[in-house]
Amino acid sequence: MQNKNKAHDNILALIGNTPLVRLKNIVNGFKGTFYAKVEALNPGHSSKDRIALHIIEEAERQGILSKGDTIIETTSGNTGFSIAMVSIIKGYECILAVSSKSSQDKIDMLRAMGAKVYVCPAHVSADDPRSYYQVAKRLHEETKGSIYINQYFNELNTDAHYKSTGPEIWEQTNGEITHLVACSGTGGTISGTARYLKEQNPEIKIIGVDAFGSVLKKYHETGEFDSNEIYPYRIEGLGKNLIPSATDFEVIDEFIKVSDEESAHRAREISKTEGIFAGYTCGAVMQAVKQLHEQGVFDDKSNVVAIFPDHGSRYMSKIYSDEWMEAQGFLNDSTVEETPKVQV
Ligand code: PMP
């Protein structure tokens, strides 16, 4: 008998269709209109729900996955959480190789969602056998009936955002978006969303947010991989020490770099002024918007969409801990601006 009530069949039905929310206080005095695409309102609290569901369902369609099989991935946390969530509902085992840079909260959450987690050293090169890439590859080879999601080199990552995030933003802005500002890690979010948006209107400016210590911006500008650009930084999920094929550099107009410190302060400011409990990279994208405003990129007609990738609750022991902020030297800087007053 068909179920006639309004309940969802399972939690996966709630993935995508996240709200677009007007920002007012944090952009006080900026020219233009600003919106956040709040990806924390996916059931797994990040944009990665979209790719986990899309990639796994595509593997099912192709007959590669059957019940009881194992899904393996490298992840800074969010993708892992999403894969673990999808695996529970669909009946798969989930093994995750994560960077030691990931917060303990994230690692504990993955284990809470039934995943088997291997923690690998963060500051080794991608081809080092101890890196989370190599560990995942080896586990995939050793585990019968497994698939390796490989989000950095999987075109379906980009495709998930081409099919969902892009159309949603186009519709939610009535096609009036002028600028998209989004973090780039695997590049799936920005590339898939941008590809769709540029197909609707090639004039839309696409700005990627990169970290100091990452190779993406320089690669975009010169076409060269410069290992001198690489050094440790604190933001999780933003920037890269390799060139992911999931990134379509052609659809990105410009990259802008943001610092760990300013991004952390912007995230705290979003939470306090907009009531949106913001993850670290929401702060990064907001810091980029601030820098673009200071460069005079926006005018009164600008309709700017910033993608907020995840939820602040994942960073309680980091950017929302005064002790952690102090230990990084982030609370001693006299240049840090005070939180602006909320306008009512
Ligand atoms: N922010 C966070 C918190 C992330 O985990 C990621 C993914 N690594 C990103 C931003 C970047 O998204 P993408 O991988 O789609 O470029």
186 lines ligand 1 (CB under 6 A): yes
74 lines ligand 1 (CB under 6 A): no
Q: Which two tokens stand for residue 166?
A: 């892009």
Banded model confidence at residue 332, pLDDT cuts 50, 70, 90: confident
pLDDT of res. 125:
86
What is d(CA 12, CA 216) in angstroms, rounded to the nearest whole number? 32
Q: Kindly report, residue by residue over 299-325, the tens digit of the pLDDT.
A: 999 999 999 999 999 899 899 999 999
Q: Kindly report, residue by residue over 272-295, the tens digit of the pLDDT.
A: 999 999 999 999 999 999 999 999
Q: pTM (2 decimals)? A: 0.93
What is d(CA 112, CA 122) in angstroms, rounded to the nearest whole number? 22
Enzyme catalytic residues = 48
Banded model confidence at residue 15, pLDDT cuts 50, 70, 90: very high
pLDDT of res. 249:
98
pLDDT of res. 99:
84
Strand, helix or coil for residue 33 = strand
Give residue for tokens 């088997």.
Answer: 116
Å from CA of 31 to ligand 1 middle = 27
208 lines ligand 1 (CB under 6 A): no
Count other C-beta atoms under 10 Å from residue 321's C-beta.
12
* Phi, psi dihedral angles at 152 (to 5 degrees): -70, -25
- Per the DSSP assignment, residues forming a β-bridge with 209 are 183, 256
Banded model confidence at residue 343, pLDDT cuts 50, 70, 90: low
279 lines ligand 1 (CB under 6 A): yes
Residue 256 CB-half CA count within 13 A: 23
Q: Kindly report, residue by residue over 112-131, the tens digit of the pLDDT.
A: 999 999 999 988 988 899 99
What is d(CA 262, CA 211) in angstroms, rounded to the nearest whole number? 11
Count other C-beta atoms under 10 Å from residue 145's C-beta.
12
Q: Kindly report, residue by residue over 36-67, the tens digit of the pLDDT.
A: 999 999 999 999 999 999 999 999 999 999 99
Strand, helix or coil for residue 23 = strand
Average pLDDT score over the chain:
94
183 lines ligand 1 (CB under 6 A): yes
Å from CA of 188 to ligand 1 middle = 8
What is d(CA 180, CA 315) in angstroms, rounded to the nearest whole number? 25
What is d(CA 78, CA 53) in angstroms, rounded to the nearest whole number? 13
pLDDT of res. 337:
52
Q: Which two tokens stand for residue 152?
A: 């950095």
Kindly state the DSSP code that residue 274 receives in the 8-state scheme.
Answer: H
**Residue of minimum CA distance from atom 4 in ligand 1:** 237
Å from CA of 185 to ligand 1 middle = 5
Q: Kindly report, residue by residue over 131-174, the tens digit of the pLDDT.
A: 988 999 999 999 988 999 999 999 999 999 999 999 999 999 99
For the chain, how many residues are written? 344
How, if at all, do strands 20-23 and 33-38 pair? antiparallel
